Structure 1
Amino acid sequence: MGCGKKCFYCAIVVAVVAWIFNAYPWQWWKREYNIVPPVSYDGRIRFDLDNLQTPCSEDEIQTIVEKAYNENQRIRVVADGHSWSLIAQTQDIMVSLANYTGVDFKNQNPNEVTVNAGTSLRNISLELDKNNLAMIQLGSVAGQSIAGAISTGTHGTGLTIGNIASLVTKLRFISGTGQIVELAKGDERFEAAQVNIGLFGVLSKVTIKVKPKFNLKETRTRHKLDWCIENLSKLASDSDYVYVKFWVEFQNNFCILFQTGETTDNITGAPSDILSFLTYYAFAVVTKITYVIPSKTKFLMLLVNWIGFGFNTVRVDNSYLILNDYFELPVHQEGEILVDFKDSVEALEAVRDVVIEGNFPVNYITEVRFVAGDEIWLSPSYNMPSGICAITLTIYAPSETVERYFTAVYDATKKLNARFHWGKHFYAKRDELNLLYPKMADFEELRLEYDPKGIFINDFIRDTFKFKED
């Protein structure tokens, strides 16, 4: 092949790569979120958009609920589709709150804002930033609505900071009879409603605690996994770093430690776009290859680790740009176990044993985070005074492999009374839930009061909770 042809083909490759680089917004703040995707994030759950309702106001939400109540139809609310459980599925009325958004800064308390339930965490962060305020805590993903994040107990990391629902001081929802219900901190029912999985009604407004805008300094270092496990408790409890998490890769005994704390240092900015681009597509390519050839997982994951995380880094940026992951991972399956902080090491070792002994092709990072305990009835952090350790299981593989991996981990951690994230792959049933959540019977009693006809119950909830229905 002549030099001219080689240059021509190279130019085409460069052009295609440049187009992808600029056209695909892998960074979360460049994404535009659809009202409802036709399928869930992982492609596993299909949504019937013919039954989609998109209210723009609380009055419209109330009208939809009243109609469902009178006609004995079912309702579930769906947001960005970023969920792996069947919690949002319904054959009747699907409600998206994507047109019901906005942040109200007119609160008596300057460190509180009231948010319409359909507002994404991304847009809340951007609006707060314009007003020199910031969220106290955020999860890894920015596309979730505030309603979805609260209702499922979504969390970030930090042993002294609760999940996002714990930041709520007041909430307002449309019950299953079409009534507007408002509950505030101090009300005996408030802690039941903070994480209610959409079973009390359609969330309308929430008031959340915020704080003055602040910068974070994130230090990222590479370690052997054995060292991270040995020092886990000490590192997670280090008072110099409020936000601590680990990214773990079991096959190659590899761990990335993120230690993050507030700082007055000047902003250094985001990581290199080129490096992030390469990391994103390295994961995308490796997962596709190992889906078909799982025996290559260990070698290819070692390659990805060096491409994306081959050296230590320090960066300073606005808090929300560090608390949210810089880019979202390509399509994958996700589960999560949450255990008492004192059992963190045993839980992580159990997951490692499952991966190694079961030879599972885990082709993504396993994330380990920490959350303060709370008194929210259905929160995975309920009655955990020392806090919890959350281990996020991430894999892209055939369904049978995914199910075997997740159930093996759940079985291995049952003795630790592991709880599960409501929005991810979920296997617990009512008998187990009664033990894991001592207030379950009281929760059901309130649910019957707010939703006597069970219009917010779908097949997944019916099978999991065995609730009484009218």
Structure 2
Amino acid sequence: MPIAPSITATDQKTWTNRHETVHQVIDNLFDIANGETDDIVDDYNATALAIQGLIRKAIQQNKKIRTLGGGWSFSEVTATDGWLLNTKLMNMLIEIRNAASLSEMYVGNPSNVLFAQCGNSMQELNNYLRRTGRSLKTSGASNGQTIAGAFSTGTHGSAIDFGSTPDFVVGLHIIVSADEHIWLEKASYPVVSDSFIRRLQTKLIRDDDLFNAALVSFGSFGFIHGVMIETEPLYLLECYRQRYPLDDSLRHVMETLDFSNADFLPHGNERPFHFQVVVNQYDLNDGAYVTIMYKRAFTENYQPPVVDHDKAGPGDDVPAFLGKLTQLLPVVTPFIVNNLIKTSFVTFSNVWGTSGEIFTNMDTRGKLLSTAIGIPIRFVNQVNEMLIGINEAQGPFSGIFSYRYVKRSEATLAFTRYEHTCIVELDGVESATTRNFYKAVWKQLEERNIPHTFHWGKISELDAAKLEKMYQHNISKWIKARNTLMPVDALQIFNNQTLMDWGLDTTLLRPF
């Protein structure tokens, strides 16, 4: 018997994110589930109609709306005091097998295109793609985020010559109001055909500026229902984590990504796929931890990594193991963190796996804080010395310093906006000392005139003036794009306090 889509009010009145940094009073939380007939596209369309009905009801009752994915963000970017819409049961995957679904102007490989509903977790995507001989082009260190939550907050890995998760997205299906949903893609990179648009019963918009603005929009451009991504043939990563002196050779690589004289690395001057440096400021004499991964052609002749829950895996970031400690001990000191790093963040060599086997973390929990700051790579060593100095003067900071690298994203509000961006990650235990350390870091970045941005899903003190300084005319472009795609009544219900604090909730006079 056919099953209709469901939107179920749970009557939940509070919500806490995964890292316990946000405790929000809400009006209600709704679980959204797809229906089931013998046609997956019909089921997808039926869910879209049901969501439009909920948006209509929210407008009538003047309730704010936010979609909820994995709850992975440290910041309040996804929070609302209105209705939270749980999307994790919305995990359809639709292969674009029929060439008629793709535009004649599409220049990519049709076999690499996948249409994913918003609630698919990154791990679900990895598992599915592994079975079909394909892979994501990059991911974050963690895989518990939903696909929509990941790219719309700018989640990144450390694929130095690719970019972040928004950069493999080529199409967006967005429910922008109670009466309209759209398919949005670039005019410069058309993907779908008219028959695909008719099948989704939607409206096609091809516009580079609108698409780039909607990519990193943290749930404020409407309800992102589906996303078209480009994957690639399955590959392996050959992984190492070793300790190296923080000397001129390593510092040169850190601030240039020039590997031409990096003879100290496992494969010398071969340019890696992934490069990351972790500095334990309490153990500088033994050098920095360098995680490096080389991309290799896939073969079945390899041994996947063995998961050890007591140690950081090849792709794990600091919260993956630091959070477990905060659940066991009432107080976590720098001494404890230092010993934890020595026993958990262990070195390894010649570990092989697919992207989904390397980046596996799904259960990061515990009272943690994290701020992530994007800077041009030429400032990396200056910032590292600055952090060590602040820790000596105003610490101790119960955490460590991590440096990851990605190529610039085209998304209008991508925080990875420099040609090559180094993401300085300061992960530590939840405490007043940690928050004061962050404030001291942010203050010195300003005083030293070091260009920087902040990860949207992590801790910051952003406001409208700071965003204008960081993103300049891109702020007005983003606001105009949001107003172009959404009517006023929908704009208002998709606002939240964070958007207002950042000055991004502006409603423009129309026509504009």
Q: Which has the higher helix share?
A: 1
1:46 CA drift (Å): 2.7
The answer to whether the aligner puts 1:379 opposite 2:414 as a matched pair is yes
- 2:458 and 2:311 mapped to 1: Cα distance? 26
Distance change (3 Å), C-alpha of 1:82 and 1:451 = farther
Residues 272 and 338 of structure 1: CA distance in aligned 2, closer, same or farther (over 3 Å) = same
SS of the residue 2:251 aligns to: helix
Which string of whole-angstrom CA distances, capped at 9 and with x for unpartnered residues, describes residues 86-141 of structure 1?
11221211111112112211254111111001110010110111111110101011
Q: Is the contact between residue 137 and residue 323 of structure 1 (CA under 8 Å) also seen in structure 2?
A: no
**Which of 499, 503, 511 does residue 461 from structure 1 map onto?**
499
The answer to whether the 8 Å contact 2:77/2:498 transfers is: yes
Equivalent in 448, 452, 467 of residue 483 of structure 2: 448
- Pair 1:233-2:233 in alignment: no
Aligned to 1:407: 439
Q: Which residue of 2 aligns with 1:366?
A: 401
1:339-354 to structure 2, matched below 5 A, reads: 339-354=375-390
Secondary structure of the 2:444 match is: helix
* 1:171 and 2:172 aligned: yes
Counterparts of 2:254 and 2:306 in 1: how far apart (Å)? 26
Q: Which residue of 2 aligns with 1:392?
A: 425
Rate the CA distance shift 1:199–1:411 in 2: closer, same or farther, 3 A.
Answer: same
TM (norm. structure 1) is 0.83
By how many angstroms is 1:359 displaced? 2.0
Alignment match, 2:455: 421
- Give the letter for the 1:130 counterpart: R
Return the match for 1:193 from 200, 214, 219.
214
Deviation, structure 1 residue 358: 1.6
- Following the alignment from structure 1 to structure 2, what is the Cα–Cα distance between the partners of residues 412 and 331? 26
Identity over the aligned pairs, expressed in percent?
Answer: 20
Aligned-pair CA distance for 1:75: 0.6
Alpha-carbon separation, structure 1, partners of 2:127 and 2:504:
41
Aligned equivalents of 2:270, 2:67: Cα separation in 1:
39
Q: CA deviation at 1:276?
A: 2.6
Q: How is 1:139-218 mapped onto 2 (pairs within 5 angstroms)?
A: 139-186=140-187, 187-188=207-208, 189-218=210-239
Question: What does the per-residue CA deviation read over 1:237-260, in whole Å, with 9 as the maximum and x for residues that have no partner?
Answer: 565311111222112214211110
Which residue of 1 is the match for residue 290 of structure 2? 257
Which ranges in structure 1 are unaligned for 5 or more consecutive residues? 1-35
Deviation of the 1:183 alpha carbon = 0.8
User: Structure 1 442/362 Cα, relative in aligned 2: closer, same or farther at 3 Å?
Assistant: same
Any conservation in 1 of the 2:319–2:368 contact (CA below 8 Å)? no
Question: CA shift at 1:151, angstroms?
Answer: 0.8
Task: Give the distance between the partners of 1:111 and 1:428, measured in 2 at CA.
Answer: 38
Give the match for residue 27 of structure 1.
Answer: none
**In structure 2, do the counterparts of structure 1 residues 242 and 48 end up closer, same or farther at CA, with 3 Å as the change threshold?**
same
Which string of whole-angstrom CA distances, capped at 9 and with x for unpartnered residues, describes residues 251-295 of structure 1? 22142111101224732321462753899998467557886363x
Q: Secondary structure at the match of 1:467?
A: coil
Alignment check: 8 A CA contact 1:156 1:323 kept? no
Root-mean-square deviation (CA), in Å?
2.8
Instruction: Evaluate the alpha carbon distance shift between residue 60 and residue 426 of structure 1 in structure 2; reply closer, same or farther with a 3 A threshold.
Output: farther
Inter-partner Cα distance in structure 2 for 1:119 and 1:77: 13
How far apart are residue 307 of structure 1 and its match? 1.5
Which shows bigger deviation, 388-397 or 105-114? 105-114
Other-structure match for 1:244: 275
* Amino acid of the structure 1 residue aligned with 2:30: Q
Which amino acid in structure 2 is aligned with residue 366 of structure 1?
Answer: F
Contact 1:172 1:181 in 2 (8 A): yes
Which amino acid counterpart does residue 477 of structure 2 have in structure 1? D
Task: Give the secondary structure class of the aligned counterpart of 1:273.
Answer: coil
TM-score, normalised by the number of residues in structure 2: 0.77
Structure 2: runs of 5 or more not aligned: 1-11, 34-46, 100-109, 188-206, 260-268
- Residue 381 of structure 1: how far off its partner (Å): 2.2
Structure 2 CA distance for partners of 1:277 and 1:172, relative to 1, 3 Å: closer
1:38–1:199 CA distance, 2 compared to 1 (3 A)? closer
Matched with 2:137 is: 136
More displaced 10-residue stretch of structure 1: 130-139 or 176-185: 176-185
Distance in 2 separating the partners of 1:68 and 1:226: 58
- Judge conservation of contact 1:173–1:205 (CA < 8 Å) in 2: yes
**Cα distance change of structure 1 residues 316 and 403 upon mapping to structure 2, 3 Å threshold:** same
Read off the aligned partner of 2:438 and give its amino acid letter. Answer: F
Q: Give the drift of 1:469.
A: 4.7
Q: Report SS of the residue matched to 2:125.
A: helix
Which stretch shifts more, 248-257 or 418-427? Answer: 248-257
In the TM superposition, what whole-angstrom CA distance separates every residue of 1:353-373 from its partner, at most 9, and x where no partner exists? 22232222323x432111111
- Per the TM alignment, residue 206 of structure 1 is displaced from its structure 2 partner at its CA by 0.6
Q: Secondary structure at the match of 1:433?
A: helix
Please point out which of 331, 344, 354 is paired with 1:292: 331
1:320 aligns with one of 356, 362, 369: 356
Q: Verify the 8 A CA contact 1:291 1:396 in the aligned structure 2.
A: no
Structure 2 Cα separation of the partners of residues 425 and 460 of structure 1: 12
SS at match of 1:423: coil
1:18-42 deviation digits (Å, cap 9, x = unpaired): xxxxxxxxxxxxxxxxxx9941112
Task: Specify the SS of the correspondent of 1:113.
Answer: strand
Secondary structure, counterpart of 1:334 in structure 2? strand
Structure 2 letter corresponding to 1:194 = L
Q: For residue 470 of structure 2, what is the aligned residue in structure 1?
A: 436
Aligned equivalents of 1:469, 1:64: Cα separation in 2 = 22
Distance 1:406 1:325, change over 3 A: same
Quick check: 1:236–1:244 contact (8 Å CA) kept in 2? no
Q: Does the 8 A contact of 2:70 with 2:145 survive in 1?
A: yes
Instruction: Determine the C-alpha separation between the residues in 2 that align with 1:70 and 1:281.
Output: 42
Mean CA deviation greater in 212-221 or 353-362: 353-362
The letter for the 1-side match of 2:499 is: I
**Residues 134 and 212 in structure 1, CA contact (< 8 A), matched pair in contact too:** yes
Residue 50 of structure 1: how far off its partner (Å) = 5.9
Corresponding residue for residue 19 of structure 2: 42
